[in-house]
Amino acid sequence: MSILDSNYLINYYFEEITKIPHGSYHEERISNYLVEFAKKHHLKYEQDVMYNVIIFKDASKGYEDHEPVIMQGHMDMVCEKNKDCDYDFDNDPLDLYVENHYLHARGTTLGADDGCGVCYMLALLSDENLQHPPLECIFTVQEEVGLCGAFGLDVSSLKGKRMIGLDSETEGETCTSSSGGNDLMITKQIEFVENDSPVYVLDIKGLLGGHSGECINKSRGNANKIAARILYHLLKDGIDIRLVNIHGGLKNNVIPRECQVIFASNVNYGIISNHIITYALDIKNELSISDPNLKVTLKKGEAKHCINSIDSEAIINVMYLVPNGKLDESQTIPGLTTLSLNMGIVRTHDNNVTIDISIRSPLESARNELCLQIEQISFLYDSYIEVSNPYPGWDYDPHSQLREAFKEYYFKSTGNILKEVATHGGLETGVWADKIPGIDIITFGPNMSGIHTPDETLDLDSYQRCYDILYGFIETL
């Protein structure tokens, strides 16, 4: 049974793709779905070894001499779920429901980022009534884990120099520039020893989280950093801590909402609990606006082995000392973050603890300097870093003809002025600008909220309005 009105192509395709698991690194099935779609509609297509897909549609009659238009979106979604949600992202369809004209998925992310862009392209490609120039539609993989699909895509078959990026989350806005970034992994080798002390389980829950590019300037709590702060203060107050396991965050580009730390200590439960209550009250007060539902709990656990005291203290110190969040903002664009980092994932793996961090800045020099600072902190505690997945920023083009044309069309069709924005998020637009010299890019998309979290929603009215605007604009190109 359909949740959405499937008479509208964009709704039909959205429900179709939510039946197909398509988390990052697991896009093969949705990629093959796109290939079958192209075959069904007799459209030329390319599929590469990464499972990126390009689908081409010849110009409609009368548009043969018009310049091609590239449209682009990514097919992978962030796979986050609530801890109590029994859901398998590798096999289960999303459980959709509508509430007050907003689309949700029960207990999980929705994948509107960037399912909306994928469905817009599928609807345009399958609509026989659309009057349009040649269309070149790019569907990339692994965007959410470092823009990998865009980096790996061979663009030599593309003829267009105009692009509409469909990875956008706010109606009435078009993005004009984006941040570059890279990943940084801290690794600390550890030694386990036998444990005969009481064991405790510290849980940090109830944080709002969010996208580490779009939400990093909102001062939201980071569960990994909160856990580190509590553990550091326990050590500072003379309480011995020997870590057993750390499990914090799910993605390095998502502000972590939960962190669990299991540790051993010779101090009894009542004393440790009283200390944690005191620390938690301070943290809750600091985050009372951004994260009013923060919960810090302690319970008893069990463990036969634990990490030795020296390594445990080193891990806690590194987590405590490495900075996190917004570090700098633009001197020319008010409110635009220009340097940040997110301590997204902390894990215990056999004989290592790893700390996975996403760093963002349009300035390569600022990113490099921050990596050096983190390297020095790590070195002090016998840890090492690896820097990977660098991606370029997208510079503002003051002479964009496509943006001016879209601004004019948007005003004529809606009576509203299109807002130009810059983002601290990393976008594939930076890769396309680097790969296709001279390309003119705009972005556009419907209202959605809570992306990268189980609270993700899609405004269905906005979803339809934006498609109608996109449809009409393409007919003018």
pLDDT score for 362: 86
The proportion of the chain whose per-residue pLDDT surpasses 90, expressed as a percent, equals 87
Q: Would you place residue 394 in the very low, low, confident or very high pLDDT band (cuts 50, 70, 90)?
A: confident
Region 99-116 average pLDDT: 95
Question: Of these residues, 76, 80, 113, 167, which one is catalytic?
Answer: 76
Please write the tens of the pLDDT for every residue from 218-267. 999 999 999 999 999 999 999 999 999 999 999 898 999 999 999 999 99
Region 378-404 average pLDDT: 93
pLDDT score for 447: 97
pLDDT score for 332: 76
The proportion of the chain whose per-residue pLDDT surpasses 70, expressed as a percent, equals 100
Confidence (pTM): 0.73
pLDDT score for 453: 86
Region 45-72 average pLDDT: 98
Question: Of these residues, 27, 114, 143, 291, which one is catalytic?
Answer: 143
pLDDT score for 200: 98
Give the chain as a 3 state SS string: CCCCCCCCHHHHHHHHHHCCCCECCCCHHHHHHHHHHHHHCCCEEEECCCCCEEEEECCCCCCCCCCCEEEEEECCECCCECCCCCCCCCCCCCCEEEECCEEEECCECCCHHHHHHHHHHHHHHHCCCCCCCCEEEEEECCCCCCCHHHHHCCCCCCCCCEEEECCCCCCCEEEEEECCEEEEEEEEECCEEECCCCEEEEEEECCCCEECCCCHHHCCCCHHHHHHHHHHHHHHCCCCCEEEEEEECCCCCEECCCEEEEEECCCCHHHHHHHHHHHHHHHHHHCCCCCCCCEEEEEEECCCEEECHHHHHHHHHHHHHCCCEEEEECCCCCCCEEEEEEEEEEEEECCEEEEEEEEECCCHHHHHHHHHHHHHHHHHCCCEEEEEEEECCECCCCCCHHHHHHHHHHHHHHCCCCEEEECCCCCCHHHHHHHCCCCEEEECCCCEECCCCCCCEEEHHHHHHHHHHHHHHHCCC
Q: Is the pLDDT confidence value at 42 over 80?
A: yes
pLDDT score for 468: 98
pLDDT score for 208: 95
Please write the tens of the pLDDT for every residue from 146-162. 789 999 999 999 999 99
pLDDT score for 80: 86
pLDDT score for 419: 95
Q: Is the pLDDT confidence value at 300 over 90?
A: yes
Region 204-208 average pLDDT: 97
Q: Is the pLDDT confidence value at 182 over 80?
A: yes
Residue 205 vs residue 335, higher pLDDT: 205
Please write the tens of the pLDDT for every residue from 3-14. 998 889 999 999
Catalytic status, residue 76: yes
Region 327-334 average pLDDT: 86
C-alpha to C-alpha distance for 350 and 119, rounded to whole angstroms: 42
Region 94-120 average pLDDT: 95
Q: Would you place residue 393 in the very low, low, confident or very high pLDDT band (cuts 50, 70, 90)?
A: confident
pLDDT score for 334: 82
pLDDT score for 83: 81
Cβ atoms 211, 204 nearer than 8 A: no
Catalytic status, residue 143: yes
Q: Is the pLDDT confidence value at 389 over 90?
A: no
Please write the tens of the pLDDT for every residue from 81-94. 988 888 889 999 99
Q: Average pLDDT over the chain, rounded to whole?
A: 95
C-alpha to C-alpha distance for 8 and 278, rounded to whole angstroms: 55
Region 206-215 average pLDDT: 91
Q: Is the pLDDT confidence value at 1 over 80?
A: no
Could you tell me the strand order of the sheet in which 162-165 lies?
A: 44-47, 53-57, 135-140, 69-74, 162-165, 440-443
Region 411-431 average pLDDT: 93
